[in-house]
Amino acid sequence: MNQGLNHPPPKRESDAEASRIAPRSGSLSERARAAAAPAAYLAGLNHEQRLAVETTEGPVLVLAGAGTGKTRVLTTRIAHLIATGRARPSDILAVTFTNKAAREMKARVGMLAGPAAEGMPWLGTFHAISTKILRRHAELVGLRSDFTILDVDDQIRLLKQVLQAANLDEKRWPARQLASHIDGWKNRALGPDQVPHGEAAAFANGRGAELYRHYQERLKILNAADFGDLLTETIRLFREHPDVLAQYQQRFRYMLVDEYQDTNVAQYLWLRLLAQGREPGHRNLACVGDDDQSIYGWRGAEVDNILRFEHDFPGAVVVRLERNYRSHAHILATASHLIAHNEGRLGKTLRTDDEPGEKVTITGAWDSEEEARLVGEEIEALQAKGHNLSEIAILVRISAQMRELEDRFVQLGLPYRVIGGPRFYERMEIRDALAYFRCVAQPADDLAFERILNTPKRGLGDATVQVLHAHARAARIPLMEAARFIVETEELKPKPRGALRELLSAFSRWSSLIDTTPQTELAEMILEESGYTEMWQKDRSAEAAGRLENLKELVRSLEEFPDLRAFLEHVSLVMDAVENDTEDRVSLMTLHAAKGLEFDTVFLPGWEEGLFPNQRALDESGRAGLEEERRLAHVGITRARRRAKIFFASNRRIHGLWNATIPSRFIDELPEDHVEVTEAPAAFSYGGYGKSRFDEVDSFSSSYATPGWQRAQNRGGFSGGGSRGGFAQGRGGYGGASGSGRGGLLIEGELVAKSSGPASEFAPADRVFHIKFGPGSVAAVDGNKLTVDFDKAGRKMVLDSFVQRQG
């Protein structure tokens, strides 16, 4: 044992093949020295982390709970492989999901292993690595090595053309929907011929697979690949060309995968193909992930991949990282207790030696406006105590929740920043500018050409596009080339012909400069001469100034690249821009966007049934959907280091209508010992009859996923047994107004109204009166929630305190 603790037997040394293909980076003496000195990079790792780092041979699954040092393990593992001479940087395949993660990993490996790790050539996203491989062997999958990568916009436009060619009504069969089907199929590595019959039938009367095929054909003609293709075409390459596959199998002696719980079927196959090159016991594949943080099922991630790891890779060592270094004990206990309600999980118990800290707070607000007000007040209070705003985050379930919070922050003059949302390269003006650059660098890029043909307006509308398309298709040439022919004919009216001729000569001019002019200069010239900059200068809308600013930023960012082509390659894969905002502001983002981040204080508003867990997730995916929502809640709580603050409102505006809401079932799943229900100060400044007080629950009235609720729905009658309770409004609220005397449930600041609590005073068939919906009869009772068939308004779910007994 030359490597110290838990080092596995050096099987590799006896692996003749591996030795042959793997010259070591250091001499024997260097390796021996590295082995003898207790490596500095291992210092400070706990036992499990060290095991995860040092189990280099064979398949390893590292289950890394939130805040347990996952990235540290991953980067240290790479450093360890290099420092011990097991692998050169170029022998290691390290895959991440996002460019951000790849960047961070590169930086951290560099810090640990020094220049030896410089330029890990195979550290990157699935997509970036796939692109690199595909460009080398493009011709084997029917592409040229300079194929373009389509962004979502391009994809949609292309699909619209496919739908039009198929004579389908775009209203009835939207391109977006087809795109999501195709993405789904590609996520599962299904080609047009492998689409299950039933699924193909779901679109355009069974023409789904056919359209998918046409789309793929169009892509090949355009010499283009969409994001899904980057993976599926690589898989096809590997399957159809075993020699190519073998080459990569030999190259990647060690493989690491980050966020394994987020892999989809295609990514799984991709990995498995590469891992299979070795003897089963020597598949050096280390996957790091957390099944409890799998929140991307809706876009194809298969939690199953991680749940099945030991089955897929027999002999796998599973290491659990359960020691949390992030959160105070109350927070951790709360998150753990909540996530324990999930059944589909491998099971981990996070622990910490940290102090208990503050309990997780739960605060009920009257409505979403008040909720926003309370959040704002608490933030101001923290600020007054000297907390940095940048250590505070507000995590919401859906973006629509942000608006009210933002409104409030603006009123308070509280600096905030929204994380996520449209990214830099997704902005219209950036895409337009990039389309110009693409046309200059790749004159055959039809989609780019079409995008800017009439932007800014130059009188080249639909009619012109049709003519160009017809010629291009007939002659099997790119649009720009077709355009060059057409301007020499009488095909177009004089005006558009002149405009087109002018545009073409501009492109010729720019293209001729591409190798001689500095790229920033060329870019500025293009934007200037095309009239694009002028278009925004003339625009008097509020955003115009920002757009011009973005264009400047774009030109500036060009400086970091050797030329325009290199820049375009970067941009097509890296759709994010590095943020360098250092101002002290609170962060506002969705729970999804928060994964991987941490803050001292985390606000979690909107914990209401229907919103969170989100009704749509429940409707679409049933129990699996509920569990994913619960994981989302778990992710939210575990973002907090010192304070987690949960809020719910009793009334929320949805699509402009006020809806009465009930607290999220997740609130009832929190451990009472670690949470505290706080009173909403000044919660009832509304007095009297708030505008939102008497309102319906109708948008949430579709079936809940809990068995009890479904039973109730089916039977139309129901008593007790439900899993959800609720919180009373602090202060007894409107008890007096309701007249139904539910005082027993309205205990100040207490966890009340569990379904096992006092039975409702109402029973099915009772006649009731609702101030808004009028008279109706009770159909079902669940604790303090009634399902009422209103004579005029139909079936609604309401809280019993909103109705009065009649007759």
Partner DNA sequence: CGGAGCGGGATTTTT
Partner DNA sequence: TCCCGCTCCG
The footprint of DNA (CB under 7 A) covers: 97-100, 125-128, 152, 160, 170-171, 227-228, 298-299, 397-400, 420, 423, 454, 457-464, 496, 573-576, 589-590, 592-593, 614, 616-617, 620, 625, 629, 655-656
* Contact between 261 and 293 (Cβ < 8 Å): yes
Whose Cβ is closer to DNA: residue 30's or residue 170's?
170
Query: Does 70 carry a binding-site annotation?
Result: yes
Peptide bond into 456 cis (omega under 30): yes
Catalytic residue among 84, 232, 293, 442: 293
Place of tokens 């979403």: 368
d(CA 778, CA 142): 65
d(CA 5, CA 8): 9
Annotation says 276 is catalytic: no
* Contact between 148 and 77 (Cβ < 8 Å): no
Supply the minimum distance, in Å, between the C-beta of residue 707 and DNA: 20
Output DSSP code: residue 729: P
d(CA 413, CA 423): 25
Q: Is 466 left (phi over 0), alpha (psi -120 to 50) or beta?
A: alpha
Supply the minimum distance, in Å, between the C-beta of residue 476 and DNA: 24
Supply the minimum distance, in Å, between the C-beta of residue 381 and DNA: 28
Place of tokens 């030109």: 555
Cβ partners under 8 Å of residue 768, min gap 6: 762, 775, 776, 777, 778, 786, 788, 803, 804, 805, 806
DSSP 147-206: PEEP-HHHHHHHHHHHHHHTT--TTTS-HHHHHHHHHHHHHTT--TTTS-HHHHHTTGGG
Supply the minimum distance, in Å, between the C-beta of residue 166 and DNA: 16
Closest CA to 637 of 291, 332, 289: 332
Annotation says 125 is catalytic: no
Output DSSP code: residue 619: H
Q: Is 349 left (phi over 0), alpha (psi -120 to 50) or beta?
A: beta
Supply the minimum distance, in Å, between the C-beta of residue 493 and DNA: 9
Output DSSP code: residue 413: T
Annotation says 71 is catalytic: yes
Supply the minimum distance, in Å, between the C-beta of residue 654 and DNA: 9
* Residues 557, 563, 568, 570, Cα dihedral to 10°: -70
Annotation says 576 is catalytic: no
Supply the minimum distance, in Å, between the C-beta of residue 50 and DNA: 30
d(CA 580, CA 106): 19
d(CA 509, CA 506): 5
d(CA 446, CA 648): 50
Catalytic residue among 50, 70, 427, 645: 70
Whose Cβ is closer to DNA: residue 161's or residue 614's?
614
Annotation says 385 is catalytic: no
On the CB side of 502, how many CA atoms lie within 13 Å of its CA?
13
Whose Cβ is closer to DNA: residue 297's or residue 776's?
297
Annotation says 259 is catalytic: yes
Whose Cβ is closer to DNA: residue 31's or residue 592's?
592
* Contact between 181 and 203 (Cβ < 8 Å): yes
Catalytic residue among 359, 639, 645, 724: 639
Closest CA to 233 of 353, 342, 145, 331: 145
Length of the chain, in residues = 807
Whose Cβ is closer to DNA: residue 324's or residue 614's?
614
Beta strand pairing call for 392-396 and 599-604: parallel
d(CA 355, CA 641): 11
Catalytic residue among 183, 258, 371, 429: 258
Whose Cβ is closer to DNA: residue 127's or residue 359's?
127
Rg (the chain; Cα; Å): 30
Query: Does 124 carry a binding-site annotation?
Result: no
Whose Cβ is closer to DNA: residue 327's or residue 464's?
464
Whose Cβ is closer to DNA: residue 177's or residue 247's?
177
SS3 248: helix
Instruction: Please count the other Cβ atoms lying within 10 Å of the Cβ belonging to residue 165.
Output: 12
Supply the minimum distance, in Å, between the C-beta of residue 778 and DNA: 29
Query: Does 64 carry a binding-site annotation?
Result: yes
* Contact between 608 and 398 (Cβ < 8 Å): no
Question: How far lies 550's CA from each of 398, 438, 574, in Å?
Answer: 26, 18, 17
d(CA 262, CA 639): 18
Closest CA to 18 of 227, 181, 254: 254
Supply the minimum distance, in Å, between the C-beta of residue 87 and DNA: 24
Closest CA to 646 of 660, 634, 628: 634
* Contact between 208 and 194 (Cβ < 8 Å): no
Whose Cβ is closer to DNA: residue 491's or residue 789's?
491
Supply the minimum distance, in Å, between the C-beta of residue 89 and DNA: 21
CA–centroid distance for 432 within its chain: 25
Q: Vertex 215, ends 212 and 219: CA angle to 5°?
A: 140
Whose Cβ is closer to DNA: residue 105's or residue 753's?
105
Please name the amino acid found at residue 225.
Answer: A
Whose Cβ is closer to DNA: residue 142's or residue 531's?
531
Catalytic residue among 71, 250, 713, 804: 71
Catalytic residue among 259, 262, 302, 608: 259
Whose Cβ is closer to DNA: residue 70's or residue 458's?
458
DSSP 647-677: EEEEEEEETTEEEE--B-HHHHTS-GGGEEE
Supply the minimum distance, in Å, between the C-beta of residue 252 and DNA: 19
Supply the minimum distance, in Å, between the C-beta of residue 788 and DNA: 24
* Residue set of the binding site: 64-71
**Positions marked active-site:** 70-71, 258-259, 293, 639
* Residue set of the binding site for ATP: 64-71
